[in-house]
Amino acid sequence: MPEKILTNEDLSRIVDTSDEWITTRTGIKERRVAAKGEDTSDMATEAALKALEQAKISAKEINLILVATATPDMLFPATACFVQKKIGATNAACLDISAACAGFLFGIEIAQQFITSHTHDTVLVIGADKLTSITNWTDRNTCVLFGDGAGAAILGHRGSAHGVISTHIGSDGQFSDILFMPGGGSRCPITRDNVDLNLATIHMTGKEVYKQAVTAMVSASQKVLADAGLTADDIACVIPHQANLRIIEGIADRLQIPLERFYVNLDKYGNTSAAAVAIALDEANRSGRIKHGDYVLLVVFGGGLTWASTIVEW
């Protein structure tokens, strides 16, 4: 996580909002903001180095790097290539994944496919985003929601049965216009006029996103539970996308899993997009909240629309 903290109080001095509004509508109290010159690949690199340290392997053993991000350092080359250079993973192939906030679990699914087909056996999956670089700081509907950060995981063959046991990914392009950034791509390249129109920032229809998020994450969770032959009662910890506490409460209610079994850190970080579940998974692991043998359900949702779910036997 970047060091700089931006509190709700700080935001109330930038736009017409309040700590009370943000807390009751979202659960967010503060978020982290990358420093000037701290790029998505810098946060991704720090997360990757911590994952390598924990996995006790060297960067040279990695043969595939996947970076899920909606805010790459540049449109090309892939941010994964910058990470490769910074960590010295000279034996890796590199690519970015564009699945917005759902990207980290799309990465887990892709890694799993490469691993089970025996083409690449040690895969570094990173979720990293610097959403504050595409935030419209005059739009109170969106600027209070987002923050910056990165998280990483290394996947490989395991001798035991533990690991990723069930995955699901899905998309619905019909809703591509409820959460998007219209400018900055080839359809609407950056020009002076477009910058003035704030086109290279996040545009969101909040209420519709909210509705779709609950529906998609509930059905994605039910799908991986059924595929794994498990019920909601078997899940020790749910790590959901960290967008809004009310969305998480809605999912808990519909899945009939007590809220206490959900890992929530959005109060500290806001919505960090593709990084959110990766950061939460790491915190839950390092704090002992998830233990060897636990079934952990990860479920995410993002622009596209995209959604994904994974069950891991920890």
26 counts as binding ligand ACO under rule CB under 6 A: yes
Q: Pick the binder of ligand ACO from 50, 184, 206, 261 (CB under 6 A).
A: 206
3-state helix, strand, coil in the chain (%, to 5): 40, 25, 35
Binding mask 27-66 for ligand ACO (x = CB under 6 A): ----------------------------------------
* Nearest CA among 36, 44, 34 for reference residue 79: 44
Point out the catalytic residue in the list 81, 120, 143, 271.
271
17 counts as binding ligand ACO under rule CB under 6 A: yes
Instruction: Considering only the stretches 111-119, 140-148, 167-175, 278-286, report the one whose residues sit in contact with ligand ACO under the rule CB under 6 A.
Output: 140-148
- Phi, psi of 121, rounded to the nearest 5 degrees: -110, -5
Give the pairing of strands 235-240 and 295-302: parallel
Q: Please, which residue, 44 or 115, has the CB nearer to ligand ACO?
A: 44
Q: Please, which residue, 173 or 229, has the CB nearer to ligand ACO?
A: 173
Point out the catalytic residue in the list 120, 168, 203, 241.
241
Give least dist CB 50 to ligand ACO, A: 23
Our answer to whether residue 271 is catalytic in this structure is: yes
Q: Do 233 and 269 touch, CB atoms closer than 8 A?
A: no
- Phi, psi of 149, rounded to the nearest 5 degrees: 170, 180
Give least dist CB 293 to ligand ACO, A: 31
Count helices and strands in the chain by DSSP H and E runs: 11, 12
Binding mask 284-313 for ligand ACO (x = CB under 6 A): -----------------xxx----------
Give the pairing of strands 64-68 and 93-97: parallel
Q: What whole-number distance in Å separates Cα of residue 70 and Cα of residue 96?
A: 9
The secondary structure of 161-175, three-state, reads: CCEEEEEEEEECHHH
Give least dist CB 13 to ligand ACO, A: 13
Residues 68-97 that bind ligand ACO (CB under 6 A): none
Q: Pick the binder of ligand ACO from 47, 65, 178, 179 (CB under 6 A).
A: 179
Give least dist CB 291 to ligand ACO, A: 29
Our answer to whether residue 241 is catalytic in this structure is: yes
Helix (H, G, I), strand (E, B) or coil at 207: helix
* Nearest CA among 25, 48, 109, 112 for reference residue 307: 109
Give the pairing of strands 306-313 and 163-171: antiparallel
Catalytic residues: 101, 241, 271
Give the interface with ligand ACO as residue ranges (CB under 6 A): 17, 21-22, 25-26, 100-101, 140-141, 144, 179, 204, 206-207, 209-210, 213, 243-244, 271, 273, 301-303
